[in-house]
């Protein structure tokens, strides 16, 4: 493919300079408001898990209005573990989260450069990287929605296509490409469930195209094995999501505000409007948030598409790239169509789309593919004009889209303020019905009580201790029999022991809190979330996959 690349270190340094305007507000003191204002809370809860030795973290103690619930059992954890490492090293919760937002933008650009430069040379790679980072949707994810996981999902798109291409074209097994493909797919799975589902058809189409072009179908085995290793590495999260979702409420994810019918975008919003705001997605075209593809993005894509079409027969050496451009633009148009309300038939008849929630979320794919194809302009340009064109495009797209890359406003807030009072209540109740254990028929309307309560009989509770997924205490019952309600939701794997002997428990019909029977006298009680067979198996698969990964890393490249 295209030659004339410069060293990766120089590229990363130069790109970082170009990306500074996009991340500048994140470098300022203070924090910023966002739609998904649970980032600090999630990291705080993960820190409790890590400090408590609950690895992988599944159950958080303060969610569900204080009753605890299995958030990280179903919510992709990848962005929060690097943030936790920073926090353990002394970085504040706020700074750790902002650094992860910054890295999501920087790495997206770096990885896009490596992909695009493979096909379109250095100038094409630089332009594609800048287009990708400065796509308005990237700002929407970071500065408006605060969608940490989705932003990190977009990080891995370029690497997956790059390493799958290299695996397909290579004449023999290459350890670096195999590992790169497996790790990037695993990272996507662990970053965002929906982004994985949205991106999967693109990865399949891309791979089939290159198998067809390169005639290396024998390498299909490497791609399949790489994918299986990726699934294995992410199994500790991925398998329980699939097999244990029946134990929690997931219906809230696709109803009410999250029903797809309320979140289509029209052509003006995607192609024409310069509107930008920090409000919500609403029914109809009068949203308080914007969904532009980016003017430079779709115009450049259109120009590249026309050039590829008109020059297809004249330049046989580049016909493969022309075909690729046409295919990717066709995929972009298909995804863009699904964002428009005219596609409602597909949404009504393909239930898997329901979990996307917001049709405009599919814009991640056209944004990615159009940014990539913007780099293709440089296969049509004479060498002497490439630097000039790259300079014009880079400066233009930065200046045109930079107004979008701003915080609505910054706030000065301490950890204590964020984790107390009404702000704390907002966080422990945020998304409270998502992944709520099914033992609870509804979300709690009030904060959970902290000390177990006798609902029948009399007694006292002493020596109460509580960790991330466990609690212990002593009871002294003064009546012949008693019933004790423990402020933890009943959930598969939650085990209760009385005097070191496991007992069966009941749950109250309303909120699903644990209820146990006690006899007169002193009893030592422990409640802890244990692993089910599914969790044991998934953790074992991930452990074995990790051992395989290490074996591959330290083996010879054969």
**Could you report the per-residue pLDDT of 287-296, keeping only the tens digit for each?**
899 999 999 9
3-state secondary structure 511-556: CCEEEEEEEEEEEEEEEEECCCHHHHHHHHHHHHHHHHHHHHHCCC
Helix axes 93-133, 148-169, angle to 10 degrees: 50
Cα–Cα distance for residue pair 558/555, rounded to 1 Å: 8
Say what the pLDDT of residue 316 is: 60
Overall average pLDDT of the 473-483 stretch: 96
Place of tokens 């964002």: 339
Residues in the chain, how many? 558
Query: For 87-134, how does the pLDDT look when each residue is reduced to its tens digit (9 = 90+)?
Result: 999 999 999 999 999 999 999 999 999 999 999 999 999 999 999 999
Query: For 405-421, how does the pLDDT look when each residue is reduced to its tens digit (9 = 90+)?
Result: 999 999 999 999 999 99
Neighbours of 310 (CB within 10 A): 11
Q: Are 337 and 343 in contact (CB under 8 A)?
A: yes
Cα–Cα distance for residue pair 362/195, rounded to 1 Å: 9
Q: Are 522 and 474 in contact (CB under 8 A)?
A: yes
Query: For 259-280, how does the pLDDT look when each residue is reduced to its tens digit (9 = 90+)?
Result: 888 899 999 999 999 999 999 9
Q: How confident is the model at residue 312 (pLDDT cuts 50, 70, 90)?
A: low
> Is residue 4 pLDDT above 60, yes or no?
no
Place of tokens 């066709």: 330
User: Tokens in use for 126?
Assistant: 């630089």
Query: For 189-237, how does the pLDDT look when each residue is reduced to its tens digit (9 = 90+)?
Result: 999 999 999 999 999 999 999 999 999 899 999 999 999 999 999 999 9
Cα–Cα distance for residue pair 390/120, rounded to 1 Å: 12
Apex CA 287: angle with CA 286 and CA 293, to 5°?
A: 105
> Is residue 313 pLDDT above 80, yes or no?
no
Neighbouring residues of 351: CB distance < 8 A, sequence distance ≥ 6: none
Cα–Cα distance for residue pair 126/121, rounded to 1 Å: 9
Say what the pLDDT of residue 557 is: 54
Q: Are 65 and 448 in contact (CB under 8 A)?
A: yes
Neighbouring residues of 203: CB distance < 8 A, sequence distance ≥ 6: 160, 161, 164
Overall average pLDDT of the 136-143 stretch: 97
- DSSP, collapsed to helix, strand or coil, labels residue 434 as coil
User: Tokens in use for 112?
Assistant: 């896009």
Q: How confident is the model at residue 317 (pLDDT cuts 50, 70, 90)?
A: low
Which is nearest to 88 in space by CA: 43, 147, 140, 21?
43
Neighbours of 132 (CB within 10 A): 31
Q: How confident is the model at residue 2 (pLDDT cuts 50, 70, 90)?
A: very low
> Is residue 13 pLDDT above 60, yes or no?
yes
Report the chain's mean pLDDT, rounded to a whole number.
93
Q: What percent of the chain has pLDDT over 90?
A: 84
What letter does residue 411 receive in the DSSP assignment? Answer: B
Say what the pLDDT of residue 1 is: 46
> Is residue 256 pLDDT above 80, yes or no?
no
Say what the pLDDT of residue 433 is: 82
pTM for the full predicted model: 0.94
Cα–Cα distance for residue pair 40/93, rounded to 1 Å: 6
Query: For 59-72, how does the pLDDT look when each residue is reduced to its tens digit (9 = 90+)?
Result: 999 999 999 999 99
Q: What percent of the chain has pLDDT over 70?
A: 97
Bridge partners, residue 459, by sequence: 477
Greatest alpha-carbon pair distance for the chain in Å reads 94
The torsion angles phi and psi of 172, rounded to 5 degrees, stand at: -145, 165
Which is nearest to 160 in space by CA: 140, 142, 177?
177
Domains in the chain: boundaries:
8-30+76-404
> Is residue 5 pLDDT above 60, yes or no?
no
User: Tokens in use for 475?
Assistant: 């009871």
DSSP letters for 57-126: ---BSSTGGGT-B-HHHHS--TTHHHHHHHHHTT--HHHHHHHHHHHHHHHHHHHHHHHHHHHHHHHHHH
b/e string for 65-96 if b means 16 or more Cβ within 10 A?
bbbbbbbbbbbbbbbbeebbebbeeebebbbb
> Is residue 248 pLDDT above 80, yes or no?
yes
């Amino acid at each position: 493919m295209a030659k004339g690349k410069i060293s990766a270190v120089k590229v990363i340094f130069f790109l970082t300079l170009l990306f500074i305007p996009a991340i500048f507000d994140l470098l300022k003191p203070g924090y910023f408001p966002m739609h998904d204002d649970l980032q600090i809370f999630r990291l705080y809860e993960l820190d409790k898990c890590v400090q408590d030795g609950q690895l992988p973290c599944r159950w958080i103690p303060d969610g569900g209005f204080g009753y605890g619930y299995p958030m990280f059992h179903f919510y992709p954890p990848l962005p929060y573990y690097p943030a936790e490492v920073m926090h353990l090293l002394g970085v504040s919760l706020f700074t750790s989260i902002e650094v992860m937002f910054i890295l999501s933008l920087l790495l997206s650009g770096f990885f896009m450069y490596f992909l695009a430069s493979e096909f379109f040379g250095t100038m094409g790679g630089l332009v594609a990287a800048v287009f990708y980072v400065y796509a308005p949707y990237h700002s929407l994810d970071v500065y408006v929605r605060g969608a940490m996981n989705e932003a990190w999902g977009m990080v891995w798109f370029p690497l997956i296509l790059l390493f799958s291409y290299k695996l397909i074209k290579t004449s023999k097994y290459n350890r670096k490409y195999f590992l790169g493909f497996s790790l990037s797919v695993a990272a996507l799975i662990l970053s965002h469930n929906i982004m994985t589902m949205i991106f999967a058809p693109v990865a399949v189409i891309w791979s089939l195209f290159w198998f067809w072009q390169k005639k290396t179908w024998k390498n299909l085995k490497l791609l399949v094995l790489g994918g299986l290793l990726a699934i294995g590495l992410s199994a500790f999260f991925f398998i329980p999501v699939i097999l244990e979702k029946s134990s929690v409420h997931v219906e809230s994810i696709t109803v009410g505000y999250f029903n797809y019918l309320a979140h289509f975008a029209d052509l003006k919003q995607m192609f024409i409007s310069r509107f930008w705001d920090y409000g919500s997605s609403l029914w109809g075209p009068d949203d308080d948030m914007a969904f532009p593809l980016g003017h430079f993005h779709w115009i450049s894509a259109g120009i590249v598409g026309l050039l590829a079409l008109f020059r297809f027969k004249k330049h046989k050496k580049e016909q493969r790239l022309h075909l690729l451009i046409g295919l990717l633009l066709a995929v972009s148009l298909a995804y863009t169509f699904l964002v428009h309300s005219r596609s409602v038939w597909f949404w009504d008849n393909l239930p898997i789309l329901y979990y996307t929630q917001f049709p405009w979320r599919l814009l991640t794919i056209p944004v990615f593919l159009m940014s990539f194809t913007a780099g293709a302009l440089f296969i049509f340009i004479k060498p002497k004009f490439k630097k000039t064109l790259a300079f014009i495009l880079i400066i233009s797209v930065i200046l045109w889209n930079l107004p979008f890359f701003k915080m609505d406003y910054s706030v000065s807030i301490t950890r204590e303020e964020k984790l107390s009072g009404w702000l704390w209540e907002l966080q422990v109740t945020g998304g409270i019905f998502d992944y709520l254990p099914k033992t609870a028929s509804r979300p709690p309307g009030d904060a959970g009580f902290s000390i177990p309560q006798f609902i029948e009989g009399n007694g006292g509770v002493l020596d109460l201790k509580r960790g991330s997924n466990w609690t212990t205490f002593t009871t002294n019952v003064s009546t012949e029999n008693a019933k004790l309600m423990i402020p933890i939701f009943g959930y598969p794997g939650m085990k209760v022991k009385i005097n070191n002997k496991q007992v069966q428990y009941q749950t109250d019909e309303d909120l699903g809190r644990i209820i146990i029977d006690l006899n007169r006298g002193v009893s030592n009680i422990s409640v802890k979330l244990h692993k089910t067979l599914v969790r044991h198996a998934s953790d074992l698969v991930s452990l074995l996959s990790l051992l395989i990964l290490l074996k591959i890393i330290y083996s010879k490249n054969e």
